[in-house]
A and B are shown apart, each in its own frame.
Chain A
Amino acid sequence: MKQTDEADSRGYYRRMQSAIEELLILKGVFSGADVEREVKAMDSRNPGRGAKMVARAWVDPAYKARALHNGSAAAEELGFAVGPLRLIVLEDTPRVHNVIVCTLCSCYPRMLLGLPPEWYKSSNYRSRVVREPRTVLQEFGTRIPDDVEIRVHDSTADMRYMVLPLRPAGTEGLDEEQLAGLVTRDSLIGVAMAKAAAQA
């Protein structure tokens, strides 16, 4: 039998995954169908969910108030289960820009946005966004004016965060679905603004 060295580590952990899955199925901890169901469920979670919440908040002030008061309930109102973690919706204003991070691991509003992008889990992002948020945002092509305050939210415990970005100018004529099309994943994390109307 071949001993595992570093170059082979990917194969090693992949094999460990298969082995543990098989052992746990044999022990009756769960079934293969349970695993398939979880994979499918995760595939179905994507930033479109967060985008729908944002578009609704843009067109419906009462919904926005409910979302800011209780993000989890506002998500569930649109049919998105968020589980035991609590969702806090962070409202951008002309004076305040919000951005989220998890410096300790990679906590992310996965029930609404799906799995996080690679850079969100990187040590570069986790190390620097709390220390030099303006520079980090510029690396994403986002320049925040000096007179706008930045709030960085470090998800260290049982809360999860999603940004409610500013509604772009000139979108008065758009319907809710068109508005949702302006809301990108990165704007829900806070490293970008929602797209301008012409980019829709």
Chain B
Amino acid sequence: MGAPEPLPARFAPGARVQVRRADPPGHVRTPWYCRGHAGVIERICGSFANPEELAYNRDGLPAQPLYRVRFSCRELWQDYAGNAGDAVEIEIFQHWLEPA
């Protein structure tokens, strides 16, 4: 009995994505400040067990694709005054992302 296959990746590097605006309870690794915001897939990091499940000592499988998503600071913060190229990159699991 092996582990279930990791879920297939829905997004490729360069794709525009939007973080779901959701507010579930529990242990969530998607920072509040990026929810609802659009960014670009910088890379696929691989597949990893879902921390929302691991937090309750479950196996978190099937593994979820994990992405690094690049957000422009001006997208995240309306009044951001620095260089237009300034950006924040965040690791986000696939189930938090939708096509933008």
A-side residues, CB < 8 A to B, are 86, 103-104, 130-131, 133-134, 146-159
Q: How many Cβ-Cβ contacts under 8 Å join chain A to chain B?
A: 68
Q: Are B89 and A153 in contact (CB under 8 A)?
A: yes
- Which of B46, B87, B91 has the most CB atoms of chain A within a 10 A radius of its CB? B91
The minimal Cβ–Cβ distance linking B62 to chain A, given in whole angstroms, is 15
A-B CB contact pairs (8 Å), 17 listed: A86-B46, A130-B33, A130-B88, A131-B33, A133-B86, A146-B82, A150-B83, A151-B86, A152-B89, A154-B88, A154-B89, A154-B91, A156-B90, A156-B91, A156-B92, A157-B51, A158-B48
Can you list the 10 inter-chain pairs with the closest CB atoms, starting with the nearest? A149-B85, A157-B91, A152-B88, A154-B90, A150-B86, A156-B91, A158-B48, A156-B29, A153-B89, A130-B88
Which residues of the partner chain B approach A134 to less than 8 Å between Cβ atoms? 82, 86
B-side residues, CB < 8 A to A, are 29-31, 33, 45-46, 48, 51, 66, 68, 70, 73, 76-77, 82-83, 85-93
Which residues of the partner chain A approach B76 to less than 8 Å between Cβ atoms? 130
How many angstroms from the CA of A150 to the CA of B77 in the assembled complex?
A: 15
Which residues of the partner chain B approach A155 to less than 8 Å between Cβ atoms? 91
